[in-house]
């Protein structure tokens, strides 16, 4: 079975009753996982994207930072109300 997502491809293989998963990142890195205790351990893939070793993640972070800077530059200054008003009679 193969599923294609926006940023990775997930393939599941049944190797003689041992389920194996392979994740292919859009940067072409491959990660293979064996099922242990009825779960897959995704730590290698998580480390790959978390530490920005992945060119795809670097690009996504770069785009996000650029968008944040653009939003800050285009937003109008907020005029705040004073916290305390003093009324003199």
In a domain, 54, yes or no: yes
Residue 70 counted as domain residue: no
Q: Is residue 77 part of a domain?
A: no
Please report whether residue 6 resides in a domain. Answer: yes
Tell me the pLDDT tens digit for each residue of 10-22. Answer: 888 887 777 888 8
Instruction: With cut-offs at 50, 70 and 90, classify the pLDDT of residue 73.
Output: low
Full domain range(s) for residue 54: 2-58
Q: Is the whole-model pTM more than 0.85?
A: no
Question: Sorting pLDDT into bands at 50, 70 and 90, what band is 45?
Answer: confident
- pLDDT for 43: 80
Asked if residue 49 is part of any domain, the answer here is: yes
SS3 at position 57? helix
E strand or H helix that includes residue 68: helix 55-74
Q: Report how far residue 56's alpha carbon sits from residue 63's, in angstroms, rounded to the nearest whole number.
A: 11
Counted domains in the chain: 1
Q: Which residues of 4-37 are buried (b: 16+ CB within 10 A; e: fewer)?
A: eeeebeeeeeeeeeeeebebebbbebebebeeee
- At residue 72, the pLDDT reads 72
* Per-residue model confidence (pLDDT) at position 47: 83
* CA angle, 37 then 42 then 43, to 5°: 110
46 lies in a domain? yes
């Amino acid at each position: 079975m193969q599923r294609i997502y926006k940023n990775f491809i997930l393939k599941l293989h049944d190797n003689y009753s041992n389920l194996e998963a392979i994740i292919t990142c859009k940067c072409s890195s491959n990660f293979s996982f064996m099922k242990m205790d009825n779960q897959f351990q995704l730590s290698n893939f998580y480390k790959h994207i978390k530490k920005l070793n992945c060119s795809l993640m670097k690009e996504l972070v770069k785009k996000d930072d650029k968008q944040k800077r653009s939003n800050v530059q285009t937003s109008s200054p907020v005029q705040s109300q004073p916290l305390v008003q003093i009324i003199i009679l």
